[in-house]
Amino acid sequence: MDQLSRTFAALADPTRRDLVARLASGDASVAELAAPYAMSLQAVSKHLSVLERAGLVSKRREAQRRPVHLEAEVLAPVTDWLELYRRRAEDRYQRLDAVLAELAADEAYPQTAVFARPPRNNQPEGTNR
Amino acid sequence: MDQLSRTFAALADPTRRDLVARLASGDASVAELAAPYAMSLQAVSKHLSVLERAGLVSKRREAQRRPVHLEAEVLAPVTDWLELYRRRAEDRYQRLDAVLAELAADEAYPQTAVFARPPRNNQPEGTNR
DNA sequence: TAGGTAGTCAACCAGTTGGTTGATAACCCT
DNA sequence: AGGGTTATCAACCAACTGGTTGACTACCTA
């Protein structure tokens, strides 16, 4: 699985998002993190492993404790990806408005023209999971 | 499953992200979308259903075709969530720098003090899946 | 009206996920 | 040395995911 997929997948769980949210205001041990939830410590530990494999979190060692630290930088590529396509779709929308206005001014048959695009041929970054 | 989880989960797959990327530059039919991939039309149709349940995409009806349209607005809450915690962690990091500088100026034992936080007690938005 | 095209639905399968319990490791403190 | 904490590891389980194939529906067109 690629990095971006791992990050999105890691954040696709309410408990894990809550962990990230809490870690944003400071490091905490596994037991501290686990306390509020109605699930076993092991389950929380697993959630933290998922976050760790996604690079969202790191643990250092301090006696028996394993203080967890949020690595917030890795959120940046995710935001970038989202912004890229949000913006692109928005731009296209505005261009569409312009095109429609122009068509209306000319003579115009409806939106079918907008719809016929040259077939693209890009592969996804990696199709397997 | 909550909305945010559905959206993150929908984007946690390279094929689905590629679909979103391609749809950002214009609507397309299911067959058009499926063409580049080495998987069945049904598989792509399933991916589109996932995107649709997440609200990222809508289909209209046009003869036999089902042109798919990207609903880019729903990306906004995701970006918002990410930005909130990225920024919060960043702020804390800078505050930490300040604190450490001050401690160093005073006398200071290491970062253990930063570590002891009052135990929080918030539940995640919904723990079940 | 018959046939091709576009798409969905249903059943199935292997692998992953999110949780459980029990055992074990590593460390601090008497 | 022994006991209590903190955390991980391992085995297990039910539910979900991402893919397959086959059958079906809906529509256009000759």
pLDDT in tens, A14-33: 999 999 999 999 999 999 99
Q: Distance from A63 to chain B by nearest Cα, in Å?
A: 12
User: How many Cα neighbours within 13 Å face the side chain of A125?
Assistant: 14
Q: How many angstroms separate the CA atoms of B100 and A99, rounded?
A: 57
Chain segment A36-80, per-residue pLDDT in tens: 999 999 999 999 999 999 999 999 999 999 999 999 999 999 999
Strand C proximity: list residues 46-105 of B with CB under 7 Å. 48-49, 59, 64-67
Q: How many angstroms separate the CA atoms of B16 and A41, rounded?
A: 33
For chain B, the C-alpha Rg in angstroms (whole number) is 23
If one compares A83 and A119, the residue with the highest pLDDT of the two is: A83
Q: How many angstroms separate the CA atoms of B18 and B20, rounded?
A: 5
Name residue A59's beta-bridge partners: A68
Task: Sketch out chain B's domains with CATH numbers.
Answer: 3-70 (1.10.10.10), 75-114 (no CATH)
User: How is residue B24 written in tokens?
Assistant: 């950002």
Q: How many angstroms separate the CA atoms of A7 and A77, rounded?
A: 10
User: How is residue B80 written in tokens?
Assistant: 């918002």
Chain segment B4-57, per-residue pLDDT in tens: 999 999 999 999 999 999 999 999 999 999 999 999 999 999 999 999 999 999
Residue ranges near strand D (C-beta within 7 Å):
A 29-32, 41-42, 45, 48-49, 59, 64-67, 127-129; B 9, 12-13, 15, 38-40, 42-43, 46-47, 50, 63-64, 129
| Cβ contact, residue pair B126, A11, below 8 Å | no
User: How is residue A108 written in tokens?
Assistant: 């115009």
Measured in degrees and rounded to the nearest 5, phi and psi for residue B39 equal -145, 165
